[in-house]
Amino acid sequence: MPYLHDLKKVIDINSYTKNKPGVDKVGLVFDQWLGEIGFELTLYKRELIGEHRLYRSATKEGKKLLLLGHLDTVFPEGKFESFNEDDEWVYGPGVCDMKGGNIVALEALRLLKDEGVEITNVDILFVSDEETGSDDSKLLTAQLAPAYDYCLVYEAAGENREVVTGRKGVGTFFLDITGVAKHAGNFYAEGVDANLEAAYKLQKLVALTDLDKGTTVNVGKMEGGIGANTISPHAHLTFELRYKTADERDRVLGAIDTIVSTSYVEGTRSLLSGGIQRDVMMSSQSSFDFVDDIERITGQKLPTEERGGVSDANIVSSCGVITLDGLGPFGDGDHTVHERASKQSFEERIALSKQLIGYFIQNSGFKG
């Protein structure tokens, strides 16, 4: 598994999202590797985060395939930076999420190149800020996505090598509530309690949860007030929405507007900011047909699953591109210091990607 040496090389570079020099250093390594295969780089420069990178292959008439990954990881310098391995596993930040997935795509392309396959109509997008919500790159991804017919995303595989056909949508919101401060002993009745308003709103927001439909609203942070002897003049709620369907998204967004515009404590004012971060990736007949095509091409069963977490697959799928996620290696412990990935799953995913990408190039699509 010589590609594990390449994995170690990029794992040993800290690429915490806010560590722009580190993220860009990882990008430069992939620039060299993909350049050797024949890809041409388009660089999307950024001042405060790493550059986003689009690698283009030669083009010809026919359908186009996008391979999607990200370069950033979640731990700052000095926190979790080591690469280790044993007979079955590799360990380190990004081995499954998702430098490992990027290596799977790279190695599959290398093997095709070594066999004399001319790589055409296959492009690769590596963004630099996925772990913080793709706040910058999601616009770029959405602009590029309509040029492609298919997208393979190299986030980690499921334990049974599932690919991902659906992911919940996610929105993050911030609610600022203004009241009137007064001395709680002398002028209690003249105060307008922002904390009390926040408490009412919190309960209304959480009540929008519908577990049967996969919808959750979580108020993850609540703060406000000055002290015990002062009626609170301000309060703040940070909350998240996750949903599985567009109908549920619309239902909850409408209800949020009503909750925000209603003053349960007379005299309070509320201001909402934030919004949908990445829209839902809904399982569809086209995605299941895509899985059927892959099973026909490979002659093997490909399990599927839906996940509550989001990825950049949400963005591409929302643009109407037939998208499958989870093409990377299987691993667990991601976003913790125990992150690991299965060596055997690297072999399996590289072989799968090589077969799929090779078939796509030969047949200008996945239907033969």
- In DSSP terms, which residues pair with 223 in a beta bridge? 236
Give first-to-last CA distance, the chain, whole Å.
Answer: 32
For residue 20, the tally of other CB atoms under 10 A from its CB is 18
Q: Report phi then psi at 45, rounded to 5.
A: -75, 145
Q: Which domains does the chain have, with CATH numbers?
A: 3-167+280-363 (3.40.630.10), 169-278 (3.30.70.360)
pLDDT digits (tens, 9 = 90+) for 127-175: 999 999 999 999 999 999 999 999 999 999 999 999 999 999 999 999 9
pLDDT digits (tens, 9 = 90+) for 305-323: 999 999 999 999 999 999 9
**Mean pLDDT per 10-residue section of the chain, whose length is 368 residues:** 94 97 98 98 98 97 97 95 95 97 98 97 98 95 98 97 96 98 97 98 98 98 98 98 97 98 98 96 93 95 95 96 97 95 98 97 87
Among 188, 134, 125, smallest CA distance to 321 is for 125
